[in-house]
Structure 1
Amino acid sequence: MRLARHAILRREGESPRYIYLLLDGWVASSVLLPGGDRQITKFHLPGDLLGTPSMCLERTADTLTALTPASVSRVPLAAFGDLFQRSPHFAAAMLLSIQRERVALMDRLAAVGRTPALARVAALLLDLAERLGALGGGEVSEFELPVTQEQIGDHLGLTAVHVNRIFRQLVETGLVARHRQRVTLLDRAQLKSVSGRQERVPAQDVSWLVGARAEA
């Protein structure tokens, strides 16, 4: 299923009938706030599952919007549920994935609520670089950032003007280089220091999971 840039895959408040696997492109999850503002909860990258939080709800919790041209594979909820029955290993992997997402959300909430704007932007750039690196199997220090300053602000709780000011500061201090949508992380160590991010080390031994033992 192909999506044009700015196309809405699914709106907040609809009946949740599918989840989606993002094959390529970037997609944003967002919720509408009472005053009409938008909070972007996540920038999704290829390989992400979209729409899973709404599986437990009568109505979808967020809107999914393509930030770039994108491709998704649509999976009916019933078919997704069948996978849990057929493959305990898949169910175990989903459990771990959900817990990692909860940790990431916990870190984002702490950052938005308790860290300055510079730390929030630095943490976002590091997070995106790490996730893009995981897709390619290696460290990424240069990548396309196909989102606007307004969208970054909607994600981090900042105005577009403030985001622009922070990027200028990162460039002027030699931490980041920018050319249009191309971002280069010049000093990862200092960016990590500025961001105040917690180093989260994924568990290597997951043999305690029933599914992992059953299909080992």
Structure 2
Amino acid sequence: MNTYSTGVLELAKQIGLDPEHVAEGLRLACRSFNHVQATTNMTVEQFGRVFTHKRHSIAIVANIAMRRAGRRDDALLLMDIYKASVGIAPHTPPIHTGIGTLPEHHNDPLVQDAVRILTAAGLPPIHTDGVHELRPGFQVLPADCGELPGFVFIAPDPGAKGRTGFAGGDLGYLAVMRWAGWGVITEALPGGLYAVCHPDYQDNPFPAATS
């Protein structure tokens, strides 16, 4: 019987894979890192800065694990979410007013971050003029009460329950935001909303990196 580290088990839980796939992804990633360091002129310090940042390394391991599990689309999705969450996604189009949230919430930075991440995950945002729904989709709302700093609320899109894969179902929204480093509350709030908390307002923004 295989015994897996806490980190492998936590990452497997986050991305919905058997721990063996994650353990294999970790082994392959370590070999790749060693090969890159051995075949370049990087010093150990330079290599560490580029390749061993916790979130970057975990994203690479998860990507490999997904591929080994035969889920190539989800492997690409994990990297897209990671890049959007740290602001390195290439060719990111601006979010126009009325997309993903009501026009009056457009300039809220936390709402903008959440919409950007969810859109990068391929989830469909609502299009609205503030009065009419022009196209159905998810909606992000700020926590205006002042008692929940760093929180926003997400209303999943109407077609979420019929979607499969890593971002499938209503809980797929939580999976996406958790992978992006946000804290999540797994119980739905009244009205079917889900609450998520920005990493800057948490003590540990990326739980899988602790082991």
Band of TM-score, shorter chain: under 0.3
Q: Which has the higher strand share?
A: 1
The normalised TM-score by structure 2 is 0.26
Q: Which has the higher helix share?
A: 2
The normalised TM-score by structure 1 is 0.26
